[in-house]
Amino acid sequence: MPGSYDSRGMYGAPSGGGRRDSRGRSSNDNRRERSYDRGYDRRGGDRDFGGGKDRFGGGKGKGKGGGAGLGANLRAIDWSREHLQPFQKSFFRESATVAAMSMHDVQKWRHDKGIAVVNDGGYPCPKPIITFADGGFPECVMESIRRAGFQNPSPIQAQGWSVALSGRDMIGIAETGSGKTLSFLLPGITHINAQPPLNNGDGPICLVLAPTRELAVQIKNEVDKFAGRIRNTCLYGGVPKGPQMREMREGREIVIATPGRLIDMLDMGIFTLRRTTYLCLDEADRMLDMGFEDQVRKICGQIRPDRQTLLWSATWPKSVQALARDLCKEHPVHINIGALDLKANHRIVQKVEVLTGYEKRQRLNDLLRQYLQSGKIIIFAETKRGCDELTRQMRMDGYPALSIHGDKKQEERDWVLQEFRTGRNPILIATDVAARGLDVKDIKVVINYDMPNNIEDYVHRIGRTGRAGANGTAFSFLTHDKARLARDLMGIMKEASQPISPQLEQLANSASAYAPSSKGKGRGKGMGGGFGGGFPRYSPY
């Protein structure tokens, strides 16, 4: 058996047993955890997930994502009665290189790069920016680009920059990790530099909405690299409000925020969004999945309607289409990065195994013994309780595993992610929500211990490996309660030229006679999965 890891993930020699409590922890574990908890300021809990019991934007009120009191002090603004100062938002000037491209050249470039202009909003879509020099970015941005060693823009940046710099609204459909952050960030910096300076108490000029704290922090890290002296901050739950309130009273040109904490700040009257003229929604599909639609719409109602809006999403369900129609008004350009059909990264080896719930734990142990030395492993469980139970059992067996989910406090989440990134604890067990926006390099193996409820989440999960040109492997444990996914799984695997087991094909044939395909059905609320052999008392949830 491998050596044991304590509750903080520190490696030690295999223990000789000792007394453990009902949660499988030794007395030393308990002392360490109590010490770790004492430093956390519980006053910071709020309505964003992870910051107390109302972590998903609500209390006990009705409606999606929020209680009745959330944003109760925010009144709808009648913008027709407001005197709005004009602002500049069109900055794109074709360089000689861009102007020399014929439409045939542009179409060929888009085809070669996997970019489709789905809708041009009634006006021609601007030509792509082929080199950084063609973008006309400020010198602070160009210096950061040179320091980063970038040679040329990625396809999503090349086309996204020209649209954003032209002042047009944009709808972009692209997978997570495709480089879209800079596609909306750098034009935002150009936009800010052209606006009058902020006064104390003014809200941001550029507002970026993100579904999770992790994604918001990752975006802020990119802002810090490229924004020069432009002030920015990140608003999210699970931490005290005081420091964030002080920064907003001083004024910040760029704000990256999760919906719940932003609504809280607006509700308290700390600042307004009347100066916001550049709005970006990142991972809009996940925000809707998490129940933030009402909050997003309420926030956008506080922003002048002639703003520039950029909406990015990994998928294009009807709910996102409806949101985009309502928010993107200024002749929006709809671009798609990659194939229009859902498909998996071809560099990922997909292995779907049909198992019973009681077989999953043993199969997981087999895979960990085989792949633990290869690199980082992420394991997906369906529930927060499932994450904790699986982590506890694995740590009792001596595996360096940590978990992350919405009930974890911010301090603990940050520590877990740092342990995983550095490889000190190379096994991460996560829920879908917690892993969304997770940006960790060198994940070699993804294991779907519990299958997701839809095929879109399956593709997103396994996409955690095989990034930046690397290869990866994804194992998925398919139980009969998720048999409805079998046919869609076969479609994804066939498109990627992956071998399909007879067991999966048989399950797909039997399931198709009783249940419709899960494709396009949205994300269900089922609680299937279970834990298999080691956890019969908790299965099913």
What residue has token string 């956890």? 535
Sequence-ordered list of residues with C-beta below 8 angstroms from that of 510, at least 6 positions apart, any chain: 483
Residue 214 shares a structural domain with residue 362:
no
Residue 316 shares a structural domain with residue 348:
no
**Residue 436 lies inside a defined structural domain of this protein:** yes
Q: Final residue of a domain: which of 337, 372, 390?
A: 337
Residue 358 shares a structural domain with residue 452:
yes
Q: For 322-371, list the strands marked E by DSSP.
A: 333-337, 348-354
Q: If 0-12 CB within 10 Å is exposed, 13-18 middle and 19+ buried, where does residue 149 land?
A: exposed
Give me 529's structure tokens: 């999965």
pLDDT tens-digit profile, the chain (541 residues): 444 444 444 434 334 444 444 444 444 444 333 333 333 333 333 434 333 333 333 333 444 444 446 777 888 899 989 989 999 999 999 999 999 999 999 999 999 998 999 888 788 999 999 999 999 898 889 998 998 888 889 899 999 999 999 999 999 998 766 678 999 999 999 999 999 999 888 899 999 999 988 899 999 999 999 998 999 999 999 899 999 999 999 999 999 999 999 999 999 999 999 999 999 999 998 899 888 999 999 999 999 999 999 999 988 888 899 999 999 987 899 999 876 567 888 899 999 999 999 999 999 999 999 999 989 999 999 999 999 999 999 999 999 999 998 788 878 888 998 999 999 999 999 998 766 667 787 899 999 999 998 888 898 889 889 877 789 999 999 999 999 999 999 999 999 999 999 999 999 998 765 544 444 444 433 333 333 333 332 222 2
Name the residue range of residue 446's domain: 342-538
C-alpha angle 8-438-292 in degrees, rounded to nearest 5? 110
Give me 290's structure tokens: 């998490």
Q: If 0-12 CB within 10 Å is exposed, 13-18 middle and 19+ buried, where does residue 264 land?
A: buried
- The whole-angstrom separation of Cα 215 and Cα 437 is 5
Bridge partners, 234 (sequence order) = 256
Q: Output the pLDDT for position 441.
A: 78
Q: How many CA atoms lie within 13 A of 20 on its CB side?
A: 15
**Phi and psi for 118 in degrees, rounded to 5?**
-70, -40
What residue has token string 């001083």? 250
- The whole-angstrom separation of Cα 435 and Cα 424 is 19
Instruction: Give Rg (Cα) of the chain.
Output: 24
CB 285 within 8 A of CB 292: no
Q: Output the pLDDT for position 15.
A: 40
Helix (H, G, I), strand (E, B) or coil at 146: helix
Q: Output the pLDDT for position 343.
A: 80
Q: Output the pLDDT for position 436.
A: 65
**Residue 204 lies inside a defined structural domain of this protein:** yes
Residue 349 shares a structural domain with residue 417:
yes
Task: Find the Cα–Cα–Cα–Cα dihedral 540, 315, 407, 428, rounded to 10°.
Answer: 80
The amino acid that residue 139 corresponds to is E
How far lies 376's CA from each of 223, 395, 401, 440, in Å? 27, 16, 10, 9
Helix (H, G, I), strand (E, B) or coil at 368: helix
Residue 258 shares a structural domain with residue 364:
no
- The whole-angstrom separation of Cα 521 and Cα 3 is 45
Q: Output the pLDDT for position 474.
A: 97
Residue 459 shares a structural domain with residue 534:
yes
**Residue 38 lies inside a defined structural domain of this protein:** no
- The whole-angstrom separation of Cα 274 and Cα 537 is 54
**Residue 193 lies inside a defined structural domain of this protein:** yes
- The whole-angstrom separation of Cα 22 and Cα 287 is 37
- The whole-angstrom separation of Cα 414 and Cα 408 is 10
Orientation of helix 259-267 relative to helix 293-300, angle to 10°: 50
CATH code, domain with 229: 3.40.50.300
Give me 112's structure tokens: 């070669």
Q: Output the pLDDT for position 185.
A: 96
Q: Final residue of a domain: which of 337, 371, 391?
A: 337
- The whole-angstrom separation of Cα 384 and Cα 179 is 30
Q: Final residue of a domain: which of 309, 337, 365?
A: 337
- The whole-angstrom separation of Cα 244 and Cα 198 is 17
Length of the chain: 541
Q: What is the pTM of this model?
A: 0.67
Q: Report the domain count for the chain.
A: 2
- The whole-angstrom separation of Cα 354 and Cα 479 is 6
Q: How many CA atoms lie within 13 A of 292 on its CB side?
A: 32
